[in-house]
Amino acid sequence: MKVIYVVFVISLFVLGVLCKKDMMRKSIVFDKNTPDVFYCPIHKPTGFDKLIVKARPLKKLCEFEGKELPEDYKSDCYQDIDESDYACKEKYRIMTRIKKLQLADINQDAGY
């Protein structure tokens, strides 16, 4: 009986950690209406309805390309989320989306 209880408690703990980690990952936001910036949390997010974000230039997202951060580096985002592996993947996705939108605009202007 104790083994089942311990497994249950550990499972709840792991599930809680994964949910919080997923919330941090999803806290980097890009809006196609403001393509020059991304938004990231400045304080620990407790929920998406209470998320306070700051606009940052897109060039600052994954600025160090996943490499070690300098000692004097001060991030404007909570827990340097803007320099995480996920942030680098997100920047690639955003840049791909922007290029597709630009190509669509060029094709529309050319009458294709």
pTM of the model: 0.65
The first and second tokens of residue 9, run together, are 């408690």
CA nearest neighbour of 52 among 43, 62, 65: 43
CA nearest neighbour of 78 among 34, 25, 36, 32: 25
Predicted local confidence at residue 19, as pLDDT? 44
Tell me the CA end-to-end span of the chain in Å, nearest whole number: 69
66-98 pLDDT tens trace: 788 888 888 878 888 888 888 899 899 889 988
CB distance 30 to 94 below 8 Å:
yes
Domain boundaries, given as residue ranges, for the chain: 2-110
CA nearest neighbour of 20 among 75, 78, 64, 67: 78
CB distance 76 to 42 below 8 Å:
yes
5-54 pLDDT tens trace: 555 455 544 445 444 445 555 678 888 888 889 988 888 877 767 778 88
Span 51-69, average pLDDT: 87
Predicted local confidence at residue 3, as pLDDT? 66
Predicted local confidence at residue 22, as pLDDT? 52
Predicted local confidence at residue 17, as pLDDT? 45
